[in-house]
Structure formats: structure tokens, C-alpha cells
Copies of this chain bind each other. A is one copy, B any other.
Amino acid sequence: MTSERSSRKGGRSRDPRGERGIPEATVARLPVYLRALTSLSDSDVSTASSEDLATAAGVNSAKLRKDLSYLGTYGTRGVGYDVNYLRYQIAREIGLTQDWSVVIIGIGNLGHALANYSGFASRGFQVTALLDSDSARVGEAVGGLKISSLDDLDAIVQDNTVAIAVIATPAEAAQEVCDRLVAAGVSSILNFAPAVLSVPGHVDVRKVDLSIELQILAYHEQRKAQGVLADLDELEAGAI
């Protein structure tokens, strides 16, 4: 997994309330299922088996069935799942039946790209503000929005009832921006800055770190290369 939850340790068993809690690993896959269902729906497929869905989502069918069983019993034995019905149920479970207001902090290279990314709006996430600490950039228009000053954070968060923020600042600024976000009432943060953020327990942080991903790939790549060398050694040693 690329990202980590920094708060909320427990899975469903530690839930103080008795209500259905969905395992974290399952939650992380629901959006993938949703995408697969949307794709099938666009292809006018009205019913799909767990095997079909699993293939489309790139997972094993038993896992998919167990994941879906946490939401309820939405399938029909001997038939499969109604694509549109299941799609709605997952969307509702994730919370995509309502719109979410998102602000992006730090409009550098990455912030720019995120502001122009169309994939957000299509899923019910609306970027309502772009903030930057550089006063020279305030007022500049990016992706149909004007950049606001970081000083207006509190007002912006309150006016738009923002719960989710995206940090795309340099690493040095990330913790301070994070603190201000939390103070303003934001309780979910997507962090692109290569920095460890410390937040109060009620705030969720997810991290996306490009250079970490590359390093993980490099590790395995190096390992493959070593394996080849070792195989050659064995070959020379006449072991095979």
C-alpha cells in the first residue's frame, strides 16, 4: 500500500458502536469496484457475476464477494449482481451521493495539475478554492478558479463547509499548512508533500508520495537484476 492512515488504528472489531464497520482494506477497494461497475454500465452490461467484476477490478473473486458481503447482500445466487443497483449501493456507502467540497493548498507544478484534473468533479468532488502563500500568485486564474491567499483559509473553509483538503506545498511548509487546516476545521487531508504530518486523532491523513513509489519499484528492480546475476553464477558453477 502506498498510503497510510495516520490516525484511527482500529478495524471494525474495535468499533465502540455496534454498527457495521467495514474493514479498511475493503474500503480501499470499494472505489475500484465502483469504477469497474461504471465501466460495465457504460458498456450496457446490466448484470455481472463476481467473477466478471473481479476480473474488471483486477482482484480475486472470493475477495470481491467477501468485500461486498460487508455492505449487505446485494447479489442473487445463481445470477450475479445488478450492475446499476450495486453501483448505487457502493456509491452510497462511500458517501458519493453527496457532494464534497475540496480545497487545494500550494499551486505549484502539482497543484496546477490537480486544479485542472477533471477526474475530481466527475466523482462528486468539487474543487471550491485554490490557496497559495505566495502573494504574487494570488488572483491568478487556474482551471477556472482564482488563487486565494492562505490568510483567507478560515473564511473559505467555513463558507464552503470544506471537510477535505489537498496539500501540494513543498515539504517545509506542509506541517504549518496542515496545522492551519486542522484549526480551520478540516478533518480529512490528502498530502502530496514528502513530509510526515502530525495531526490530532480525529483527523484522517492519506499520503501520496511519488518518490517513495519509485524507490519501492527500484528495490524490486534491483532484486530482479541480482536474481539474474545469481542465476548466471549458478549456471557457471554448473549447478543446473
Contact = CB atoms under 8 A, between A and B. Distances in A.
Interface string A101-125: 0100000011011101101100111
B164 A194 contact: no
A133 interface: no
A22 B222 CA distance: 13
A179 B96 CA distance: 33
Interface in A183-216: 187-190, 194, 196-198, 202, 204, 206-216
Interface stretch (A24-32, A43-51, A144-152): A24-32
Given A58-B6, A216-B28, A94 B222 contact: yes
Contacts of A6: 58
A213 B116 CA distance: 17
Contact of A3 (B2, B194, B224): B2
B123 A214 contact: yes
Nearest to A95: B222
Nearest to A34: B215
Contacts of A81: none
A220 interface: yes
A230 interface: yes
A1 B28 contact: yes
Contact of A224 (B102, B187, B212): B187
Nearest to A6: B58
B30 A218 contact: no
Contacts of A94: 215, 218-219, 222
Given A8-B220, A109-B113, A190-B214, 17 more contacts: A6-B58, A19-B230, A27-B219, A27-B220, A31-B211, A32-B212, A56-B196, A94-B219, A109-B116, A110-B117, A117-B210, A119-B194, A119-B210, A119-B211, A125-B211, A188-B220, A206-B217
